[in-house]
Structure 1
Amino acid sequence: MDKAEKLLAEKEQDSYARWLKDATYKQLEAYSASNDPASFQAVLNAQQSGASFIKDDKGICPKACLGCDTGYISINEDGGGTSVQPVPGYPEQNCVRCRWFITGPAFLPGLVHHFNVIGYNMGETAERLMQFEKDIEQLENKKFDCEQNNQLFTEYERLVKLEKLHQQELQKNDKLANDYNATLRLIDRSIAVSKKTTESIEVDCIQLVTAGEMDDIELMITEETNKLFQLQTLCNGAEIYPETDASKATLQRSQIIDLTLAANEKKPILFTLPPELQLIAGNAWMRILINRAGSLKEAVPYLTTPYAEGRKQLAEIGFGIEFDEALKLQQQVLIPHSNNEKSKIEMLVGGL
């Protein structure tokens, strides 16, 4: 999604918000996606009370973001009873798990980006879990050897600490997995809504569906094992959705790009930029590479093997040597946090 598509999506989301203010319960059931029917009643209550609808890139909160502390229904597995609780992660606004939250096809790009962010965070958590498990296993083996040989095990404190950290990561991973599944359910429901015959929507002349083809959305949520493909998807979305914390992903991608530059006899340059410019410049660099390659799927191998290892040169696909010079110039003319950063970078590197 580029800036123009983002503006179009915002107009569609505004149309959806206006539609919500007059929709009936039956229409909400047919043309919305939510976690609980309570969201439909919350919309109707907001219509009557005049409460404001709070919109973000994923959907709308009909309770003005004031229902997080009652946004989750917990089911007692033993007795079967239910209780009202805060949304998992509270006081964080975890909208995709909230029973008040409502969304639809107009918000699919934002939902998909959120889905990708959670997937990336799950991958990072899994790596930490694997490392903790490896360290714990080594210490437990050492502890066992000490017991067998009547020796004092002197790293008990470290073992306890690692077990505690491991448990914390397990809890974090469990929450992320549930957030991941909840987001996917909302995406699936929104896609299903978009494929319906929208008679009432046509009558009201309200645009509730997102721009583009559903095949594009479905491709974006396909599980991807290529780490760079995942990083690029996240970084590209982070430029459109600034609430995303893509600092770690940006750093990882910058390291890969700089490695590729070095392997292709160019001076690594991204590491010299502040994080904000690394994101923008890295995206601009990748756009050039994608244009040369034809698609992101085709471009990604150029940054893995053999180009990152130096067995082939980027020049072989028409990737000029001017990029590092453009970045040097960009360092001199760009003012950090300027609103014109992106356009200036694209002007500098657009002709490569």
Structure 2
Amino acid sequence: MPYEYVVKGRNHLIPEFIDRYNNSGKIRCENFNQLTVAHELNKSDWYEVDEALIDKNDPNCVWRKAVKLKRNKGSRCYRETIFEMWSPARAIALYCLFNLPTRGQQILWLDSGEADKFKLICNGYKSIELDDKSHIVPDFKWVKNDNPLVGLQKTDNQGVLHKDGDNFVMFVNTNKTGKPYYSPYIPERLVPWLIRLRDWQTKYNPIKEPTRWTDVHFDKHIKPSNAVLTNRGTQCFLFRNPGAGNRNTDTNNYQPLKQNIFANSLAKVLYEIQDDKTPLARKRGSQYTSIYSPHTMRVSLITSLVLYGDVPLHILMKVVGHSQIMMTLHYTKMTHSNMASVLTIGEKKALERSAEHKQALMMENKIHEHKEELVIPVNSALKNPDWPQSSVLFFDYGLCPYGATECSNGGDRDVSSSSKSTPAYSAVSAGYLGKQNCFRCRHFVTGIPFYIGLLAKGNEIAEARQYVSNKVCSLNSKIEHMDVMIYKLESKGQVVSPEVRLKHKRLSNLLEQEQVRHDALGCDILSIFKLLRQTLTLFDKEEQSKSKVPLVLNTNSLSINLEEVSHHQALAEVCENAEIFLSADSNTALPRRSSSLDKMLLRNGFPAQFIHLSEDNQLKVGNQMTQLMLARLGGWGELNHVLDGKRPIDSISLQESDKLVPLSEEIQMILAKTKLLEEE
């Protein structure tokens, strides 16, 4: 989704300013009573209450009278006037979705901080001087928490607004495949609304004790193990709904909202902000549908923060988490403006041949004739027209003006340096390429001639990151199992052996090492993504000027996207690129892709084949077989099912025809040819 609609959607739901009642200007939006759009999100947000519970002087208490049909046993229906209050939980959760690149379910499991010793309050707004300008910002302050829940949780400071000295950070108490994490990144506009929701829950929807994770009602596909739930202990869920159906009757606690609360409400907001040129959602009766899901919001926010946000990459990687992501180059043909296609193998090869030609021209001392096709840093040596060609080192994905000799000062500016006239820089951060990590180096130059090679390298790193992610998940699982075991021993007063303590420490050290690798690779991916997006602007300039032909896609509009894909698709992408690009390396992906294909063959009555092939033939035959199955099964959706063993090879074919050879027979022919290759 274009980022402009993300901004438009959140401002529609909760605007910064609203009109005064007499239309005499604007006032700041500061209470739930002013959120007229949010009041209409969903009828179930209104619930019946006793009039005594309503504080008519509280602007955050939204209430109304309603006439409801009721029936006594054995009598006719009658009308009764009732009082209803509005729960802001859904609206604020959706507002979080418009602001935080965090998974929807993680948002709904955030802790309110009602049991913490301190709570953050907002004392209105204050003026501060920043960059010689006055700015109006919220006036936040930490005070002692007077909630009776204080101290009832095993660990203090669990709220989403986490106390960090006099400041605060965002605490995400759950993570799909890892431990909770802290993030300095949280939009300031969001914080006052989180505070208001916390206070509203305390006043109008209080709980007697924190909710046990073991009492939470999970959907089957997201339920953690009992050991993990036990280890999590208790939580004061911020997004709990006061409706009777959401109460756990056994413990008198409330359940957190489930992720399905986003679907209709998100589509409704998108429907209300769309225009004729860009339809975002549809309405059928009282229901709204949209092709843009909560996941779309996450991807849009991550993309915008990479490109435009002043958020350090290592912090952003915490938000991205452990998803298998891949950078996909799409092109939209001008004659079919609504049709976007992923580059085919043939188009990749054509791009690579064109790129090689341009790189060859540059190496022939013509680099300065192609500067308009390069993303050149502001203080780059290439700005000097007399810079010697012999100093330039070329790669498939870019070039280094210094011949890889200035990596020691290619990093961020050293703020501790006392020299103002000659700024000092740290060494470039290590990553996938080691200490010579071009993608995060301030000297690195790339551009149109290197675009497709850079894209291939980015997806190679993305797959390598997923491999590390799997190791992180495995180590996390082992540590959590040991945490539960140690907790049980200590709770019974039993001694935990030194061997167990030592093993736990070793696992924790290994986990820390792998997490450092995981974050470093993630930063590389986002750096490459940013470089690719910068290069796209050069394509646009080339197209407008018509002075040169930008590779082979001068008739197309390009776009680059971050997408979550299956493990099989990521492996296939790396292996496919390894046959096309010199810089591509499939050493880690190829064995796992071959193992996956062998398992598929065994499940479908074929002998394992790839284990007996050379690496070159594993690559060629695997790519050939993957392309065949994609063509016959109609895409990765069905192919993933076949590779996962959920369907046999011949169960589905989009081109159902008696004339077609069964897919299994075509695979048999490929395997027969493979044997001949090996014998040669």
TM norm structure 2: 0.42
Q: Which protein has the bigger strand share?
A: 2
Any conservation in 1 of the 2:456–2:584 contact (CA below 8 Å)?
no
Task: In structure 1, list runs of 5 or more residues that go unmatched.
Answer: 334-352
How far apart are the structure 2 equivalents of 1:113 and 1:331? 29
* In the alignment, structure 1 residue 12 sits paired with structure 2 residue 358: yes
Pair 1:51–1:248, CA change in 2 (3 A): closer
- Please give the secondary structure, in 2, of the residue aligned with 1:255: helix
How many Å separate the matches in 2 of 1:11 and 1:228?
33
2:459 is aligned with 1:125: no
- Structure-2 change in CA distance of 1:319 and 1:292 (3 Å): farther
The within-5 A match list for 1:235-314 is 235-293=575-633, 297=636, 300-301=639-640, 303-304=642-643, 309=648, 312=651
User: After superposition, what is the alpha-carbon deviation per residue over 1:299-344, rounded to whole angstroms, capped at 9, x for unaligned?
Assistant: 73474367754572785348523122111111101xxxxxxxxxxx
Q: C-alpha separation between the residues in 1 aligned to 2:616 and 2:435?
A: 24
User: Quick check: 1:322 aligned with 2:669?
Assistant: yes
Tell me whether 1:72 sits opposite 2:417 in the alignment. no
Partner Cα distance (1:145, 1:291) in 2: 54
- Cα distance in 2 for residues equivalent to 1:133 and 1:255: 25
1:56 aligns with 2:395: yes
The question of whether the paired residues in 2 share the 8 Å contact of 1:72 and 1:88 is answered with yes
CA distance 1:55–1:179, shift in 2 (3 Å):
same
Q: What is the deviation of 1:110? A: 0.8
CA apart distance, 1:189: 0.5
Give the AA of the match of 1:140: D
Distance in 2 of aligned mates of 1:141 and 1:75: 43
Is the contact made by 2:598 and 2:608 (CA closer than 8 Å) also made in structure 1?
yes
User: Which residue number in structure 1 is paired with residue 367 of structure 2?
Assistant: 21
Higher relative contact order (CA 8 A, sep 6+): 1
Question: Cα distance, 1:186 vs. partner?
Answer: 0.4
Query: 2:430 aligns to what?
Result: 89
Deviations 1:236-270 (A, max 9, x none): 11122344432331122212222232333322211
Deviates more, 1:210-219 or 1:105-114: 210-219
Separation in 1 of the partners of 2:647 and 2:419?
Answer: 56
Cα distance in 1 for residues equivalent to 2:519 and 2:419: 22
Aligned to 1:33: 375
Structure 1 pair 146–138 and aligned structure 2 pair: CA distance change class (3 A): same
State the one-letter code of the partner of 2:438: C
Mapped partners of 2:623, 2:525: distance in 1: 25
Percent identity of equivalent pairs:
21
> Given that residues 32 and 190 in structure 1 are in contact (C-alpha distance below 8 angstroms), is that contact kept between their aligned partners in structure 2?
yes
- CA gap of 1:61–1:245, structure 2 versus 1, over 3 A, is same
Aligned to 2:504: 159
For the 8 Å contact 2:457–2:583, the answer to whether it is kept is no
Write the distance in 1 (CA, Å) between the matches of 2:563 and 2:604.
30
Q: CA deviation at 1:179?
A: 0.8
**Counterparts in 2 of 1:160 and 1:262: CA distance versus 1, 3 Å:** same
State the partner residue of 2:572.
Answer: 232
How do residues 71-220 of structure 1 correspond to structure 2 at under 5 angstroms?
A: 71-76=410-415, 83-89=424-430, 92-154=435-497, 155-197=500-542, 202=547, 209-212=550-553, 218=559
Following TM superposition, by how much is the alpha carbon of 1:200 offset from its aligned partner in structure 2, in angstroms? 7.4
Q: Distance in 2 between the 1:80 and 1:146 partners? A: 57
Cα 1:56–1:140 change in 2 (3 A) is same
The answer to whether the 8 Å contact 1:267/1:324 transfers is: no
How far the C-alpha of 1:146 sits from its partner, in A, is 2.1
What is the rounded CA distance, in whole Å, between the counterparts of 1:46 and 1:188 in structure 2?
26
Question: Match of 2:412, SS?
Answer: strand
Q: For residues 255 and 305 of structure 1, what CA distance do their matches in structure 2 show?
A: 12
Q: 1:46 touches 1:63 (CA, 8 Å); kept in 2?
A: no
Over 3 Å counting, the alpha-carbon distance change for 1:101 and 1:94 in structure 2 is same
Q: What CA distance in whole angstroms lies between the structure 1 residues aligned with 2:558 and 2:613? A: 33
Matched residue of 1:218: which SS? strand
Give the Cα–Cα distance (whole angstroms) in 2 for the partners of residues 66 and 201 of structure 1. 37
Q: Distance in 2 between matches of 1:301 and 1:316?
A: 19
TM-score of the aligned structures, taking structure 1 as reference length: 0.78
One-letter identity of the residue aligned with 2:356: E
Deviation at 1:276, TM superposition (A): 3.1
Unaligned runs of 5+ in 2: 1-344, 654-660
Counterpart of 2:262?
Answer: none
Give the Å deviation of 1:50: 4.4
One-letter code aligned to 2:675: K
2: CA distance, partners of 1:77 / 1:304 = 53
Which has the higher Rg, Structure 1 or Structure 2? 2
Aligned partner letter, 1:67: E
C-alpha distance in 1, partners of 2:639/2:540?
32
Name the stretch that deviates more: 172-181 or 210-219.
210-219
Bigger helix share: 1
Label 1:137 to 1:260 Cα distance change in 2 as closer, same or farther (>3 A). Answer: closer
| Structure 1: distance between partners of 2:589 and 2:375 | 30
| Structure 1 residue 277, shift from structure 2 partner | 2.4
Q: Distance in 1 between matches of 2:664 and 2:470?
A: 36
Tell me, yes or no, if the aligned pair for 1:260 and 1:308 is still in contact at 8 Å: no
Contact 2:398 2:445 in 1 (8 A): yes
Instruction: Report if the CA contact (8 A) 1:105-1:193 is conserved.
Output: yes
